Copies of this chain bind each other. A is one copy, B any other.
Amino acid sequence: MSLRYAVLTLLDIDPGSGYDLKRRFERSVSHFWSASHQQMYRELHKLHDEGLLDCEEQPQAGKPDKKVYSLTDKGRAELRNWVAQPAAPQKIREPFLVRMFAGHHLSRDELHGALDAQLQLHRGLLDNYREQNERVLKSDPALQERYWLAHQTLLLGIEAEKTWITWAEKLLVELEEKREETN
């Protein structure tokens, strides 16, 4: 259900097309939600059918036309109403940790490889979030004030990545120690 409201929130901040939304999801929401372009277009059609979005076709020079969506009053009301409700807690799902849970089936080298790949992944995410953070800190102070909470979610994303990285690094060290013990 949250995709619906993630889309409404982004369009509330700034109107845009399905393609725009997809990129904004990757650039500025990726630390708490992700969605494919098919999901965007389907959701936009649905929201438009329900009268929560207006749609305006914009011809563009040198590029295909785009359909720019923006919130209707009904859409804004729906969003405000939802934000005030408690959100269902997310079901935690971490395929990597399922793998680690069965990790006694892995050789030391395989385990090392798996942990290292995960470490690289989270370092990449951390870099990405830090870049986003730099962009926010350089932006208009009035906007920073208005979207203060949105920025806080990014800071949580950064802390979460640090937690992962610290964990993986520590495990790699312990793995190395175990190797030396056995040799």
Contact = CB atoms under 8 A, between A and B. Distances in A.
Interface of A: 1-2, 5-6, 8-9, 12, 29-34, 79-80, 82-84, 86-106, 110-111, 114, 117, 121, 146-150, 152-153, 155-156, 159-160, 162-164, 166-167, 171
Contacts of A111: 149
A31 B92 contact: yes
Contacts of A89: 95-96, 121
Nearest to A153: B97
Nearest to A101: B150
A98 B6 contact: yes
A104 B149 contact: yes
Contacts of A100: 149-150, 152-153
A34 B93 contact: yes
B171 A101 contact: no
A98 B159 contact: no
9 contacts: A5-B99, A9-B102, A87-B95, A90-B93, A90-B96, A97-B153, A100-B152, A101-B149, A155-B167
B31 A98 contact: no
A87 B83 contact: no
Contacts of A148: 104
A183 to B, nearest CB: 18
Given A12-B102, A103-B149, A104-B149, A97 B159 contact: no
